[in-house]
Amino acid sequence: MISRVVIADDQDDVRSGFRMILNAQPDIRVVGEAADGIAAVELSRRERPDVVLTDIRMPGRDGLEVTRLLAGPDVRDPLPVVVVTTFDLDEYVHAALRAGACGFLRKRSGPALLVEGVRAAAEGNALISPAITVRLLDHFATRRPPAPVTEPRLTQREAEVLLLIARGRTNAEIAAELFITPGTAKTHVANLHRKLGLRNRVEIAAWASENGHVTPGS
């Protein structure tokens, strides 16, 4: 199955480099490019790609607005958006998380991670390395709100899956660690989305930290 990708970045050389890397893969095709945020939203809504790669800083609309319009909580049929940034964890990345981004990629991460990230996003997984996951949890732990009066009732297996998601595991890795099939892992992840009312795995990881289910570095 071919994963269709839209690239949004105001730098020609970045788009060209990403396009060359992705089109060299047998299962990925770049179906469109945009040099500004306005064009990125219009193109993505028209093409309905499997993954949208968007830079943070662009003219017209920045990557945060692009993410919100394509993957935000008010979007009826959201697209998987991966934010491409020169930053690690700053206010832009956290804002992108809240806007609905399903993953993060640093521009200097290299071709292998770019390809891996696109494939992961297309399969419904988050593009977060374990190191970045820990730093995300560190961030949310410093601003943890009071625990809610009631929490969704999770099964023991769902609680185990929750912790593995918080540690950056993919569905395949969860299945291997828990000795279940990938399809069963996917079902548990979907149940967590439904019970917690969250749209992506990054939000699940943040929820686990904010509500004391996992501690930074654990």
pLDDT tens, position by position, 150-200? 678 899 999 999 999 888 787 888 999 999 998 899 899 989 988 988 877
Tens digits of residue pLDDT in 123-138:
877 766 545 555 665 6
SS3 label, residue 200: coil
Other C-beta atoms lying within 10 Å of the C-beta of residue 44:
24
Phi, psi of 130 (to 5 degrees): -55, -35
Q: Which pLDDT tens digit goes with each residue over 12-48?
A: 999 999 999 999 999 999 999 999 999 999 999 999 9
Beta carbons within 10 angstroms of residue 8's beta carbon: 27
Angle at 150 between CA 144 and CA 153, to 5 degrees: 105
Name the residue with tokens 């749209």. Answer: 199
Give pTM, 2 decimals.
0.73
Sign of the CA dihedral running 43, 94, 99, 171? positive
Give me the helices (H) in the chain, please: 12-23, 37-47, 63-71, 91-99, 111-122, 130-141, 156-166, 171-178, 182-196, 201-210
